[in-house]
Amino acid sequence: MVIQRPASLAKSVASVLRERLKNRYVNGGRLPSEPEIASELGVSRGTVRQALTILEREGTVFRRQGSGTYANQYVLRIPARAESAYEFTELISQAGYQASIQVVAIETTCMPDEALELMSLPPAAEALIVRKLFLADGKPAIYCTDMLPRSIILAEYASSELHQPIFEFLERRCGQTISHCVAEIIPEVVDETLAHLLDMAPGRPLLRFDEIGFNGSNQPVLFSRVYYRDQYVRFSILRKKM
């Protein structure tokens, strides 16, 4: 009988292998066999197989019929994958800049209508709205508006806590962990307001993500609108037949 392994073990094995593949390129890119990986990491072959399935689906490795599993150098080389939920400061550092954060505004107001619907909230629900700029070498690179329902805030907080990444605030003061996000990808043109905020000429292109953050029970707990300057952050994405 096969003992059911928690999916999280396979995820951990996938993480270990992913980091190894990022850091060195073994044996012409060919991974060791499943039994070899299993015995080295002290897990079952079934777990290794699940981990390799994770890595294959995300494109980190590919399988050649009858020849084995290989690192995908094209995918490993991508600086920013759109499928991956990075911290903004991490994105900026990875691109080779010094990252810093500037809080533009913090307000408590009504949740915007579009977010109400997306988050299945009642009409006129209150929201805590935090607007931040993320700077690359002191220049605006990302402008983010986080909107979270007041109803999920469980504890008192100091406004200084909102200067930290919103994920930390959600964990500490709302007991919520974002497990995944669904983002709409929207091309935009810089208007007067964005020009001023992002120090760009009006009429320039800009990438916008409208993003819903979900907790582990798949309940929406955060709505974010994020603008990325292509000059600093350009995402790539792996696409395949589903």
| Residue 29 region by backbone torsions, left for phi larger than 0, else alpha for psi between -120 and 50, else beta | left
Looking at the Cβ atoms of 40 and 83, the one nearer to a second copy is 83
> CA nearest 211: which of 52, 83, 91, 94?
83
Q: Does 235 bind a second copy (CB under 8 A)?
A: yes
Q: Does 26 bind a second copy (CB under 8 A)?
A: no
**Region near a second copy per CB under 8 A, out of 3-11, 92-100, 140-148, 158-166:** 3-11
Pairing of strands 220-228, 205-215: antiparallel
Q: In angstroms, what is the minimal distance from the CB of 21 to a second copy?
A: 12
Residue from 146, 211, 222, 223 that binds a second copy (CB under 8 A)?
211
> CA nearest 63: which of 29, 12, 40?
29
Angle at Cα 115 formed by Cα 163 and Cα 90, nearest 5°? 35
Q: In angstroms, what is the minimal distance from the CB of 147 to a second copy?
A: 17
Tokens of 181: 């996000």
Q: Does 204 bind a second copy (CB under 8 A)?
A: yes
Direct distance between the N- and C-terminal alpha carbons of the chain, in angstroms, rounded to an integer? 31
Q: In angstroms, what is the minimal distance from the CB of 156 to a second copy?
A: 28
Please count the other Cβ atoms lying within 10 Å of the Cβ belonging to residue 107. Answer: 9
Looking at the Cβ atoms of 128 and 224, the one nearer to a second copy is 224
Q: In angstroms, what is the minimal distance from the CB of 160 to a second copy?
A: 26
Q: Does 2 bind a second copy (CB under 8 A)?
A: yes
Residue from 83, 137, 161, 171 that binds a second copy (CB under 8 A)?
83
Q: Does 25 bind a second copy (CB under 8 A)?
A: no
Task: Give CA separation, 172 vs 101, 123, 169, 175, in Å.
Answer: 20, 27, 5, 6
Chain centroid to Cα 240, Å, comes to 20
> Site residues (CB under 8 A) for a second copy?
2, 4, 7, 10, 15, 18, 34, 44-46, 49-50, 52-54, 56-59, 62-65, 70, 72-75, 78, 81-85, 179-189, 203-208, 211-212, 214, 216-218, 220, 230, 234-242
